[in-house]
Structure 1
């Protein structure tokens, strides 16, 4: 009787399915004029290991690692805007750079399906806090994106809504970085 009760409890509470937020790396936005500065971006080991769970469909959840999944796309985004980019684990490792950028990633997901677990809607918000080498605030730049995927689309890629949201957020971040007057000073 205990096994049946445990199985029923698992079925009622759902489970978490692994997805990836990594966008298509071949589609990084470009800029008309790079900013001629050396920058470092900071993603701590704790952030790289951080796993997040958000709602999927059918009462299930999805799990993913936002910083790990977006690391390559962030590097490409910063490289599209700035002359030289280095990744570091702590701000104190950023030597010989003009700016230190610390990205923050927040996400949401949902699904209007009661029968399938992949999310049909996904949002990504990237907020980059930019400081000078002394730690003085320069600016904060944001890029957000949302992605949708229908069953016919995601049946071959369960991460599709997340990938689309990530691509839009990274592309919007590139535009925001390029258009920031504070970063060009």
Structure 2
């Protein structure tokens, strides 16, 4: 009887502790299109530090579980695509202080993103996040390091459990949030 009680206690601890399920927050890149944008006749760059690129974030999912993702790595392709829609050429800049790289590639602006995320779920029995928020604070600096532009954009994404199950896209809310930011 004691063994059954211990097993029940262990099982309840494991259930309550939850776990982190890996997802991506990358938007559907095919929706981020140039359309009617006339590119600015300048080259641009973007900078994401290696530590940000490797940063893992864990936020709440449903049922006591969590979701984990790498926000900077996941949004990099979308950032690059948006900038490519706006500028003639776009470069991944090794450092905003790398004046030789910036001069050699005639880069006029360097975009530096800062990402914050939140997630939650209305589901009690499932791990997926039904609601996701992505906040992108981005600034552009010129060749001298002076801030010439700043913008904060918030994207919210929601997906019902049934919708995620039907599509098989368990990160649908996060994709919608990031797509809202980059559109």
Question: How far off is 1:6 after superposition?
Answer: 4.5
Tell me the secondary structure at the aligned position of residue 102 of structure 2.
coil
Question: How far off is 1:4 after superposition?
Answer: 5.9
Determine the C-alpha separation between the residues in 2 that align with 1:170 and 1:35.
18
Contact 2:61 2:127 in 1 (8 A): yes
Range moving further from structure 2, 86-95 or 38-47: 86-95
Q: TM-score, normalised by structure 2?
A: 0.87
Match of 1:120 in 2: 130
Q: TM-score, normalised by structure 1?
A: 0.86
Question: Would you say how many aligned residue pairs link Structure 1 and Structure 2?
Answer: 171
- Is residue 28 of structure 1 aligned with residue 38 of structure 2? no
Match of 1:166 in 2: 178
Match of 2:116 in 1: 106
Q: Please identify the structure whose Cα radius of gyration is greater.
A: 2
Range moving further from structure 2, 8-17 or 74-83: 8-17
1:15 corresponds, among 15, 19, 27, to 19
Question: How far off is 1:145 after superposition?
Answer: 1.1
Question: How far off is 1:64 after superposition?
Answer: 0.3
Question: How far off is 1:7 after superposition?
Answer: 4.1
Contact 2:37 2:85 in 1 (8 A): no
Determine the C-alpha separation between the residues in 2 that align with 1:34 and 1:44.
26
Determine the C-alpha separation between the residues in 2 that align with 1:89 and 1:120.
36
1:153 corresponds, among 154, 163, 173, to 163
- Is residue 39 of structure 1 aligned with residue 51 of structure 2? no
Deviations 1:110-150 (A, max 9, x none): 10110111011111111111111111111202322111111
Determine the C-alpha separation between the residues in 2 that align with 1:72 and 1:139.
21
Match of 2:102 in 1: 95
